[in-house]
Amino acid sequence: MNKINLLTPDKSNLYNFLYIGILLFFFSVLDVTLNSFFNINLTSFLPDALSFFLPLILGFIGLHFIRIEYSGIKYLDLINKNINTNNFNALLSLLIIFIFIKLLPPALSWFIIDANISGDSRDSCTGTGACWTYIKVWFNRFMYGMYPNAEQWRINLSFISLAFLGSVGFFATEKYKKYLTLYYVVIYPIIAFLFIFFFISGGPIFFDFSYGIIAAVISIIIGFFIPSKFKMYYFIIVPLTVYILLKYVLFYEELIELGKLEALEWVETGAWGGLSLTFIVSFFCLIFCFPVGLFLSLGRRSDFPIIKYISIGFIEFWRGVPLITVLFMSSVMFPMFLPEDMFIDKLVRVIIAISLFEAAYVAEVIRGGLQALPRGQYDAAKSLGMGYWKMYIFVILPQALKLVIPGIANTFLALVKDTPLIFVVGLMELAGMLGLAKTNPKWLGYAMEGYVFASVVFFIICYAMSKYSYNLEQKYKTER
């Protein structure tokens, strides 16, 4: 038998080292596991400090023994390559494994084993773990804020229809693909606005919404019989005419009558809240900040000095101040700038403020894309005789926007993460509702559950968004 040198394991004694090493490593993991799950200390006969560090030492020696290069055993080589390249890495790997094992039981017991979810009052929370009953009871409030329970189907319906209308792009056939941009940039935002303003807000105004729908349906039906030459003008003029006809000529009396009935109860924006408000605010800001940012970025690269410096000043101003001061401005300073009798709803003010704020960031991102395009693209477009707008719309922007998809997605992600800030003006979205719920005298002391819940919700939303943007980036990556 060969002489075994314990300090330098080698291939000639592969199995000896392997058995000892695996045994030691296994024992160290077993010790920690028993210790953390069943509170049994195998090495209690040793001094405290030694007993505490023993698994680390044993595991370290074990990993040292199995660190044999090119052993020919597939899994051993895999382990050595990935977690056991040298002493330092082995130590770090062990630490991570042990910390994970140590953290697992308390986490499990808090989240699942000792947690309560049954019942609907505080008394049913008897375990030492989390009280998910609290989340269950407050779930409606966390989702819809103070929106009346009986009316919540309106929010659901709006979101479902908007999600459906938003997914049109996936089903569109080749023939309609070229209209998708127009649809998403112009038509879809308008529909969304109508939905949220008339349907979620409700009140007598609701009838405007229904007339709008009727007008749209009628004009689409008639639209089939119009020669395609005039379709462009037709779709601009007719829906508006039909709408005005419906509202002011045909149904004017009925409107007044029905307005008194209030088919849909009016819900003021102060009552909106919870996660749905987060969606509403981020959705609108997303829609508005993009075009504003686009124009700002064009303005910043303009040849006209006045436009250029106004854009620069605007962008740098918004980028230099924190969002919270912008919101303060919109809530306490902005009303001073308006005529006495003019009142703008708080939610609208907030949406405008956040949109302008994010537009500055979007502008900088787009500028990056514009700058990254080689000069030749501009020159080529100009040499074809294109004017400024033609050049940008048909040559520059399609390429530049493709380049900055990840940047824009990041900005949108930041926007979604910024929405909880609207609590400073008194709007209660998810984080705000949590604050309200945890100070409720019946439910004191469950702040942790609330924040964990909200964190999970936001994490899912933001993580999905970031993954989606990554996919988008991969999809639009063009070889240059």
Partner 1 sequence: MNLNFKKIFPQLLTLLFVVLVFGFFSYNAQVNMDNRGITFGYGFLSQESSFDVQFSLIEYDGSHSYFRAYLVGLLNTILVSVIGIILATIIGVVVGIARLSKNYLIVKTAAVYVEFFRNIPLLLQIFFWYFAALRALPLPEKAEPMLGVFFLTIKGFFVPALIWNNLHIFVYSVIAAIISIIFVRIYARRKQETEGKQTPVLMISIGLLLILPLLSFLIGGASFVVEVPVIKQMSQSSFTYDGGIGLPPELIALVLALSLYTATFIAECVRAGVQGVGKGQKEAAASIGLTPNQVLKLVIMPQALRIIIPPTTNQYLNLTKNSSLAAAIAYPDLVLVFAGTALMQTGRAIEIVSITMLTYLSLSISISILMNWYNKKIAIKEK
Q: Which residues bind partner 1 (CB under 8 A)?
A: 81-83, 85, 89, 92-93, 96-97, 304-307, 310, 316-317, 319-325, 328-329, 332-333, 335-340, 413, 416-421, 423-424, 431, 434-435, 438, 447-448, 451-452, 454-455, 458-459, 462-463, 466
DSSP 12-47: GGHHHHHHHHHHHHHHHHHHHHIIIII---TTTTS-
Q: Where are the beta strands (DSSP E) in 385-471?
A: 428-429
Closest approach, Cβ 416 to partner 1, in A, equals 8
Closest CB to partner 1 among 349 and 438?
438
**The tokens of 167 are what?**
């997914």
Phi, psi of 272 (to 5 degrees): -70, 155
Closest approach, Cβ 51 to partner 1, in A, equals 21
**In sequence order, what are the residues at sequence separation of 6 or more whose Cβ sits closer than 8 angstroms to the Cβ of residue 59?**
24, 25, 28, 29, 94, 98
Write the DSSP symbol of residue 341: T
Residue whose pair of structure tokens reads 């008339």 in the numeric block: 198
Closest approach, Cβ 326 to partner 1, in A, equals 8
Closest CB to partner 1 among 34 and 462?
462
**The tokens of 369 are what?**
């894309």
Closest approach, Cβ 189 to partner 1, in A, equals 23
Closest CB to partner 1 among 82 and 181?
82
Reference 112, options 93, 128, 89; nearest CA is 128
Other C-beta atoms closer than 10 Å to the C-beta of 29 total 18
Residues 413/358, Cβ–Cβ less than 8 Å:
no
Closest approach, Cβ 90 to partner 1, in A, equals 9
Write the DSSP symbol of residue 422: G
> H/E element holding 441?
none
Closest CB to partner 1 among 255 and 312?
312
Closest approach, Cβ 92 to partner 1, in A, equals 6
Closest CB to partner 1 among 359 and 454?
454
Closest CB to partner 1 among 90 and 192?
90
**The tokens of 116 are what?**
């309560």
Closest approach, Cβ 294 to partner 1, in A, equals 16
Closest CB to partner 1 among 83 and 168?
83
**The tokens of 346 are what?**
């708080």
Residues 269/204, Cβ–Cβ less than 8 Å:
no
Closest CB to partner 1 among 200 and 366?
366
